[in-house]
């Protein structure tokens, strides 16, 4: 039985809490965004097992209308089970029973977190920062990268260093870029 606005849900396939790849593909629209098309061509490695929803006394219902949810279903069927589940999966949040990721989909987020556009909160999301148990640590900084100030600006020394990577002699920094020379720059 569809929920609100006639959204297609997995009621017929979720009586046993399992969706096969064929059932998922049958419910997806023919026209899809490129990420979904790419995931549809991947080899499925598991059936999608849904979490039990205690509040309604049945397995989680799936909203197939949202492209992000379609992507999450395909990641769940074709991705890799995380060695260490994210905190949200450990706590039983999300529609799926396992924490599954696909490195080239959903910005690395697991399917549970990506479902209903919540991927940024996942510790596997490529943009995640170290913010507690559910976030992975930030990638190591590139030692060749120019130093950035707290205001997001490169220092004058960094600008000179970046421009001087071909073995040429050091160039003096342009005085117009120096914050102490605002009067000098005001006429430009």
Write down the number of H helices and E strands in the chain.
7, 6
Residue with tokens 């492209």: 67
- Compute the average pLDDT of residues 160-167: 42
Q: What is the pLDDT of residue 74?
A: 93
Q: Tens digit of pLDDT for each residue in 89-131? A: 999 889 999 999 987 878 788 999 999 877 778 987 887 554 4
Q: What is the pLDDT of residue 94?
A: 92
| 116 and 30 within one domain | yes
Task: Find residue 7's DSSP bridge partners.
Answer: 3
Whether 73 maps to a domain, the answer reads yes
| 103 and 47 within one domain | yes
Domain end (from 93, 121, 149): 121
Q: What is the pLDDT of residue 38?
A: 87
Q: What is the pLDDT of residue 188?
A: 37
- Compute the average pLDDT of residues 144-153: 46
Q: Enter the tokens of residue 84.
A: 């260490």
Whether 39 maps to a domain, the answer reads yes
pLDDT at 148 over 60: no
Whether 127 maps to a domain, the answer reads no
Q: What is the pLDDT of residue 119?
A: 76
| 147 and 96 within one domain | no
Whether 83 maps to a domain, the answer reads yes
Distance of alpha carbon 110 from alpha carbon 150, whole angstroms: 31
Q: Which domain holds residue 177?
A: 141-188
Whether 161 maps to a domain, the answer reads yes
Whether 97 maps to a domain, the answer reads yes
Q: H/E element holding 58? A: strand 58-59
Whether 92 maps to a domain, the answer reads yes
| 50 and 107 within one domain | yes
Domain end (from 68, 91, 121): 121
pLDDT at 42 over 70: yes
- At 159, is the pLDDT very low, low, confident or very high (cuts 50, 70, 90)? very low
Number of folded domains that form the chain: 2
Whether 55 maps to a domain, the answer reads yes
Distance of alpha carbon 98 from alpha carbon 112, whole angstroms: 8
Backbone angles phi, psi at 28, to 5 degrees: -85, 145
Q: What is the pLDDT of residue 129?
A: 54
- At 180, is the pLDDT very low, low, confident or very high (cuts 50, 70, 90)? very low
| 65 and 151 within one domain | no
Domain end (from 121, 149, 175): 121
pLDDT at 146 over 50: no
| 157 and 114 within one domain | no
For the chain, what percentages of helix, strand and coil (3-state, to nearest 5) are there? 30, 10, 60
pTM of the predicted structure, to 2 decimals? 0.60
| 104 and 22 within one domain | yes
């Amino acid at each position: 039985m569809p929920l609100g606005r006639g959204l297609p849900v997995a009621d017929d396939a979720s009586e046993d809490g399992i969706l096969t790849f064929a059932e998922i593909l049958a419910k997806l629209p023919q026209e899809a965004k490129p990420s979904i098309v790419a995931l549809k061509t991947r080899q499925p490695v598991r059936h999608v097992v849904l979490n039990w929803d205690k509040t309604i006394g049945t397995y989680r219902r799936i909203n197939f209308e949202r492209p992000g949810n379609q992507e999450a279903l395909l990641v769940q069927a074709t991705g890799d089970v995380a060695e260490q589940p994210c905190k949200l999966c450990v706590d039983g949040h999300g529609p799926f029973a396992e924490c599954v990721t696909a490195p080239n989909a959903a910005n690395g987020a697991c399917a549970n977190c990506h479902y209903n556009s919540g991927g940024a909160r996942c510790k596997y999301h490529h943009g995640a920062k170290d913010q507690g148990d559910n976030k992975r640590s930030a990638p190591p900084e590139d030692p060749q990268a120019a130093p950035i100030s707290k205001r997001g600006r490169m220092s004058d020394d960094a600008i000179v260093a970046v421009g001087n990577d071909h073995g040429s002699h050091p160039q003096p920094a342009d005085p117009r870029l120096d914050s102490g020379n605002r009067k000098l720059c005001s006429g430009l």
